[in-house]
């Protein structure tokens, strides 16, 4: 027994000596390095839609460019750094560090006025954003010369220009399922629908959107953005089958990132309405 105790003491001493050598050389053992990575990162995610220059149109899903600029100024003053979904996924999957105070700006639906009014502000403040497009609408307006601030959607030329700037990441918001009519709300499963039919029907739409984005930009989205936040029990299985790594929801609370991939499912976001500025939404964020 005494012999085994001596062996154990010797082994422990060797480990401590090795640690001292690594620390002395300025290097950190892997186990110590792992302890230095925060277990959880709390990150606000803001959800925008239409950015319209007419203040009379401001409401639940529309704000003015001036309001957006005030948001960007506030975030800058508070020391936030914008990130996109690829950064978030890299943190969760590979442990790639995030900025000290990350924030994510997301724009849903892919309106033309995002390019007209929001993109110049992203350039001015060098902030990055995620735009989730309804791909069928982009196909439609790419074939029209109809850039109307009220209702038009982004064209492929606009999307590629923004992507090439490094400031905009494009994600999938369905090809043609951003609807509430009929029995289906967004990509939610209908009550009378079998799981097999749901996966086949909704899967075909999402895959069509994925393929089209990749065809037109060279980029295959890693994130699906749920229209209206609606989902069903089979939604996650479907997204995994299609190769999505993450998804965006609409629940208004902080996003809590960890090394658990489950935190990438339906990432919660704060809805930015004309009455709820970034400052108002985030004033108690650190509390």
pLDDT for 132-176, tens place per residue?
A: 999 999 999 999 989 999 999 999 999 999 999 999 999 999 999
Mean pLDDT of the chain: 88
pLDDT confidence band for 287 (50 / 70 / 90): low
User: For position 38, what pLDDT does the model report?
Assistant: 53
**Cα 129 from Cα 121, distance rounded (Å):** 11
Is 94 a residue whose pLDDT tops 90?
yes
Is 47 a residue whose pLDDT tops 50?
yes
Is 234 a residue whose pLDDT tops 90?
yes
User: For position 8, what pLDDT does the model report?
Assistant: 43
pLDDT confidence band for 212 (50 / 70 / 90): very high
**Cα 161 from Cα 157, distance rounded (Å):** 6
């Amino acid at each position: 027994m005494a012999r085994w105790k001596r062996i154990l003491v010797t082994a422990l001493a060797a480990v401590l000596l090795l640690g001292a050598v690594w620390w002395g050389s300025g290097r950190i053992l892997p186990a110590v390095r792992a302890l230095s990575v925060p277990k959880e990162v709390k990150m606000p995610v803001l959800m925008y839609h239409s950015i319209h220059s007419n203040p009379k149109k401001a409401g639940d899903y529309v704000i003015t460019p001036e309001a957006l600029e005030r948001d960007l100024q506030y975030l800058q003053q508070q020391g936030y750094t914008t990130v996109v979904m690829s950064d978030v996924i890299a943190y969760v999957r590979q442990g790639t560090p995030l900025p000290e105070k990350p924030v994510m700006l997301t724009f849903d639906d892919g309106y033309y006025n995002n390019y007209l009014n929001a993109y110049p502000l992203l350039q001015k403040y060098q902030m990055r954003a995620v735009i989730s497009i309804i791909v069928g609408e982009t196909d439609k307006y790419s074939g029209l010369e109809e850039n109307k601030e009220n209702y038009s959607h982004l064209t492929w030329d606009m999307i590629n220009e923004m992507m090439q700037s490094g400031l905009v990441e494009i994600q999938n918001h369905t090809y043609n399922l951003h609807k509430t009519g009929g029995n289906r709300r967004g990509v939610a499963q209908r009550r009378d629908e079998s799981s097999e039919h749901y996966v086949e029907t909704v899967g075909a739409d999402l895959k069509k959107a994925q393929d089209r984005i990749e065809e037109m930009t060279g980029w295959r989205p890693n994130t699906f953005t749920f229209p209206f936040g609606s989902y069903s029990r089979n939604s996650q299985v479907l997204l995994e089958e299609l190769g999505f790594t993450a998804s965006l929801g609409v629940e208004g609370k902080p996003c809590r990132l960890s090394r658990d991939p489950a935190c990438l499912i339906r990432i919660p976001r704060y809805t930015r309405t004309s009455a709820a500025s970034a400052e108002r939404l985030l004033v108690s964020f650190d509390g």
